[in-house]
Amino acid sequence: MRAFDAFFKEIDATWQPVGAGKIPLRILGCAALSLQTDYERGTKDGDVLETDAVTPAVQQQLLGLAGPGTRLSVRHRLHIDIVHRGLAFLPHVPAWRPCVALNRELTHFEIELLDVVDVVVSKLKRFHANDVGDIRAMVDRGLVEHPRLIERFRSAVDVFSGDARASDLPRYVENLHRIERDDFDVPESDIELPEWI
**Distance, CA of 163 to CA of 150 (rounded, Å):** 21
Edge-first strand listing for the sheet containing 79-83: 79-83, 45-49, 23-28, 109-114, 96-98
Whole-model pTM? 0.94
Residues present in the chain in total: 197
- In contact, 125 and 133? CB cutoff 8 Å: no
Chain segment 96-123, per-residue pLDDT in tens: 999 999 999 999 999 999 999 999 999 9
So what's the pLDDT on residue 155? 97
Contacts of 1 (CB under 8 A, 6+ apart): none
So what's the pLDDT on residue 20? 82
**Distance, CA of 79 to CA of 82 (rounded, Å):** 10
Q: Is 117 helix (H, G, I), strand (E, B) or coil?
A: helix
Chain segment 5-28, per-residue pLDDT in tens: 999 999 999 999 987 889 999 999
Q: Is 195 helix (H, G, I), strand (E, B) or coil?
A: coil
List, for the chain, all residue ranges whose pLDDT scores fall below the cut of 50.
none
Q: What is the DSSP letter of 186?
A: -
So what's the pLDDT on residue 1? 53
